[in-house]
Amino acid sequence: MYDVMPPRSAVWQHIEDTAANVFATYGYAEARLPAVEKTELFVRGVGETTSVVEKEMYTFFDRNERSLSLRPEGTASVVRAYIETGAYATEAIAKYWYRGPMFRYERPQKGRQRQFYQIGAELLGVESPYADAEVIAMMDQLIGALELENVKLEINSIGCPKCRPSFNEKLIAYLKSVENDLCSDCTRRLERNPLRVFDCKNEGCQEILAKAPLISSGWCEECSAHFSTVKNALDSLNVSYVVNERIVRGLDYYMRTAFEFTTDQLGAQNAISAGGRYDGLVRDLGGPEVAGVGFAMGIERLVLLLEAQGKAQPPAQDIIYCAVLGEAALEKALPIIQQLRSDCVRVEWDFASKSLKAQMRRADKLGAESVIILGDDEIAKGMAQVRNMRTKTQAEVRLSDLPMHFVNIGG
């Protein structure tokens, strides 16, 4: 766990603001969720055989002996809130996005911490494969808005409760034939949730899984048609993708469409965003039969990728510096500074009457566009000296005209 301090925090704000703007164009509203939930929510929603629930959650008992957990992911919390607020009864289609810290007790790797931050989006109430495509396109648009390069979209279909059991039988038969060569985690999951073995990062297991049956061989007619429509819709939306049949997602609630946005610039931890369809989750958490599709992205990985590509500088903000010389000037400066800030202009000053040379040095260090110079002579004339730090020119401006002089600088 670590701190995010300026100037790096400005990159985080840039990512969050860009995401909020993109999501708004698709009609998504922000949901603010608690960091602590009942442990049962994640056991039921994420899945008791997942590595998240088995060994990565921060779980504890409160004073009333209730088992609570720091949330390891956001989708289950969104669905829990969707059910508890009764939104399913009033919103035929519900669109939410969220941001905030998640917690997993895992060995930290590049772009991963035990407290990490995610931005996610969930679309509830639509079974259509066009919903899958639109959610993917929204993430693709965000990547474009952040001007990220070398990001690849990989998609797959992991079937549904109707066709997955028969595929699981074929997969189990294959895995049993090589069981002695599998790691202990894969051996344990073989019977309980065989698809989960595809999440294994063990190199030996990955070599074995390369020869495992392909999940497309087990798709039912509906799953095949659903995936075909998703691909056609992505083609229509000009969203490039590759099919990767080894993508299964690490949480139990996924079905049919699964996808990842990956990069080759972050080492082994190559996914920056991932998601898919989860039509049974609302029902499993005590709600009605409602379809769902969504994704989450790791802010830390986006920051690392922006830094790797030299794009970690958010848009510059114009700064006005007010150099105050003397107590009389201070009294005049305060209301001027306040008025400019009310007009959404960023104004900096030193809270004291230091030498002009010292104040100009600080203005230069801050990257100020202009400096307002106020001293006894200026006050006596009702004027201020305004120095343009880029052109190195200087002009007199009436004190009463200062707010209008900078009116075009504010947001």
Q: How many residues does the chain have?
A: 411
Residue 278 confidence (pLDDT): 92
Phi, psi of 183, rounded to the nearest 5 degrees: -70, 170
Q: Which residues, 6 or more positions from 371, have their beta carbon under 8 angstroms from its beta carbon?
A: 320, 321, 322, 323, 359, 360, 363, 386, 387, 389
Q: List, for residues 191-231, the tens digit of each pLDDT value.
A: 777 777 877 777 888 888 888 888 888 899 999 999 999 99
pLDDT for residue 241 = 96
| End-to-end Cα separation, the chain, in angstroms | 34
> Reduced to 3 states, what is the DSSP secondary structure of residue 70?
strand
- More confident call, 248 vs 62: 62
In total, how many domains does the chain have?
3
Looking at the domain assignment, is residue 355 inside a domain? yes
Which are the contacts of 353, defined by CB distance < 8 A and separation ≥ 6?
A: 324, 325, 326, 327, 329, 330
H/E stretch holding 372? strand 370-374
pLDDT in tens, 127-181: 999 999 999 999 999 999 999 999 999 999 998 888 888 888 888 888 888 888 8
Residue 25 lies in a domain: yes
More confident residue, 44 or 241: 241
- The answer on 115 and 79 residing in a single domain is yes
Q: Say which range, 9-23, 122-136, 186-200, 272-286, has the weakest mean pLDDT.
A: 186-200
Residue 60 has pLDDT above 80, yes or no: yes
DSSP for 250-283 reads: SSTT-EEEEEEEEESSSTT--EEEEEEE-TTHHH
- On whether the CB atoms of residues 8 and 314 are closer than 8 A, the answer is no
Does one domain contain both 25 and 127?
yes
Q: What is the mean pLDDT of residues 12-31?
A: 95
- Asked whether residue 176 falls in the same domain as residue 277, the answer is no
Specify the CATH number for the domain of residue 330. Answer: 3.40.50.800
Q: Is residue 2 part of a domain?
A: no
User: Do the domain assignments include residue 3?
Assistant: no
pLDDT surpasses 70 at 337: yes
pLDDT value at position 252? 65
Q: Do 345 and 375 belong to one domain?
A: yes
Per-residue CA distances from 379 to 338, 352, 370, 397 (Å): 18, 17, 19, 11
pTM: 0.84
Instruction: Name the residue with higher pLDDT: 132 or 407.
Output: 132
Question: Can you give the CATH number for the domain in which 227 is found?
Answer: 3.30.930.10
Q: Is the dihedral of CA 263, 269, 271, 273 positive or negative?
A: negative
pLDDT of amino acid 359: 93
Residue 268: predicted pLDDT: 63
Q: Once rounded to an integer, what is the mean pLDDT over residues 114-126?
A: 94
pLDDT band at 65 (very low <50, low <70, confident <90, very high): very high
Co-location of 278 and 135 in the same domain: yes
Regarding whether 13 and 155 lie in a shared domain, the answer is yes
Burial readout 374-404 (b: 16 or more C-beta within 10 A, e: otherwise)? bbeebbeeebbbbbebeeeeeeebebeebbe
Q: Indicate whether 94 pLDDT > 50.
A: yes
CB burial of 6-43 (b: ≥16 within 10 Å; e: otherwise) equals eeeeebbebbeebbeebbeeeebeebebeeebebebbb
The residue-averaged pLDDT of 372-386 equals: 91
- pLDDT (0 to 100) of residue 98: 97
> Is the confidence at residue 411, as pLDDT, over 50?
no
Q: What's the token pair of residue 185?
A: 């985690």
Indicate whether 187 pLDDT > 70: yes
pLDDT value at residue 148: 93
Instruction: Classify residue 313: in a domain, yes or no.
Output: no
410 pLDDT higher than 50: no
Rg (CA), the chain: 27
153 and 78 in one domain?
Answer: yes
Q: How confident is the model at residue 19 (pLDDT cuts 50, 70, 90)?
A: very high
CB 123 within 8 A of CB 98: no
Question: What pLDDT score does 315 carry?
Answer: 65
Which of residues 159 and 51 earns the better pLDDT score?
A: 159
For residue 68, the model assigns a pLDDT of 93
Long-range contacts from 29-32, C-beta under 8 angstroms, 24+ separation = 29/95, 29/96, 29/97, 30/96, 30/97, 30/98, 30/99, 31/78, 31/81, 31/96, 31/97, 31/98, 32/98, 32/100
Q: Where in the sequence is the domain holding 378, given as residue range(s)? A: 319-405
Q: Among residues 213, 231, 248, which one ends one of the domains?
A: 213
Q: Are 245 and 195 in contact (CB under 8 A)?
A: no
pLDDT tens, 316-328? 678 999 999 988 8
What is the chain's mean pLDDT, rounded? 88
Least confident of 116-125, 193-202, 215-224, 348-357: 193-202
Q: Residues with Cβ < 8 Å from 155, sequence gap 6 or more?
A: 136, 230, 231, 234, 241, 242, 243, 244, 247, 257, 258, 259
Spatial distance between the Cα atoms of 377 and 329, rounded to a whole number of angstroms: 9
Report yes or no on 411 lying in a domain. Answer: no
